[in-house]
C-alpha cells in the first residue's frame, strides 16, 4: 500500500489558489492508494465541492479536512466515501478522569471502528485525526 502525506503552508494566497494546488496534487498522484492532507487544508464546503468536481484521479483515496465546518472527509474520484469525521479533543488524562480507563479507551476504539473504518485495496484502514494519538498514549 502506498500512502502520501502532503503538509504545506500557504500564506497570503486566496482560497482559489489553495484549491488549485490540492486539485493538482490529487490528480498528479494516481500511483498512491491514499493521499492525506492533514489540518484544515480547505477553507469551506464550497472548496471541497470544487476539489470533488475536478478530481480526475479514479484510484487514490483522499483524506482532507475543511476549516468551516471543521470536519474531515474521505474521497474517491468524484464522491465522498465518508464524511463528517470529527476529531475527538481528549487526551489520555481526560479519559482516565472520565471513568474507568479501560472502558473509555475501548469506547474510543469502538468509535474508530465504526466511524473511521474504510477499505483500501481489500484492507481495512482506520484514521486518527491530529492529536488523537494522545488518547492512546501510555496504554
Average pLDDT over residues 21-26: 95
Mean pLDDT, rounded, of the chain: 82
> Does the CA dihedral 37-39-42-48 come out positive or negative?
positive
Q: Compute the distance between CA of residue 6 and CA of residue 32 in angstroms, rounded to an integer.
A: 12
Mean pLDDT, to the nearest integer, of 41-70?
A: 93
Rounded Cα distance, 1 and 32, in Å: 8
Q: What is the pLDDT of residues 81-134, one digit of tens each?
A: 988 888 766 655 665 565 555 566 777 788 788 888 888 888 888 888 776 776
| Rounded-to-integer distance, Cα 10 and Cα 83, Å | 25
Helix axes 45-53, 15-27, angle to 10 degrees: 30
pLDDT band per the 50, 70, 90 thresholds, residue 74? very high
Query: How confident is the model at residue 124, as a pLDDT?
Result: 87
Q: In what order do the strands lie in the sheet with 71-76?
A: 3-5, 34-44, 61-68, 71-76, 79-85
Residues 6+ apart with CB under 8 A from 137: 91, 92
Residues 43, 23: Cα–Cα separation, whole Å: 14
pLDDT, residue 121, reads: 84
pLDDT confidence band for 33 (50 / 70 / 90): very high
Instruction: Report which of residues 32 and 100 the model is more confident about.
Output: 32
pLDDT at 51 (0 to 100): 96
Amino acid at each position: 500500500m502506498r500512502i502520501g502525506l502532503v503538509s504545506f503552508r500557504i500564506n497570503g494566497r486566496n482560497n482559489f489558489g489553495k484549491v488549485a494546488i490540492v486539485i493538482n496534487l490529487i490528480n498528479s498522484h494516481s500511483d498512491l492508494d491514499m493521499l492525506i492532507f492533514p489540518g484544515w487544508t480547505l477553507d469551506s464546503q464550497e472548496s471541497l465541492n470544487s476539489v470533488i468536481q475536478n478530481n480526475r484521479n479514479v484510484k487514490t483515496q483522499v483524506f482532507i479536512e475543511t476549516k468551516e465546518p471543521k470536519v474531515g472527509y474521505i474521497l474517491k474520484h468524484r464522491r465522498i466515501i465518508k464524511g463528517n469525521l470529527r476529531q475527538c479533543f481528549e487526551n489520555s488524562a481526560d479519559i482516565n478522569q472520565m471513568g474507568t480507563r479501560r472502558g473509555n479507551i475501548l469506547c474510543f476504539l469502538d468509535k474508530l471502528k465504526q466511524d473511521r473504518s474504510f477499505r483500501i485495496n481489500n484492507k481495512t484502514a482506520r484514521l486518527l485525526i491530529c492529536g488523537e494519538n494522545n488518547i492512546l498514549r501510555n496504554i
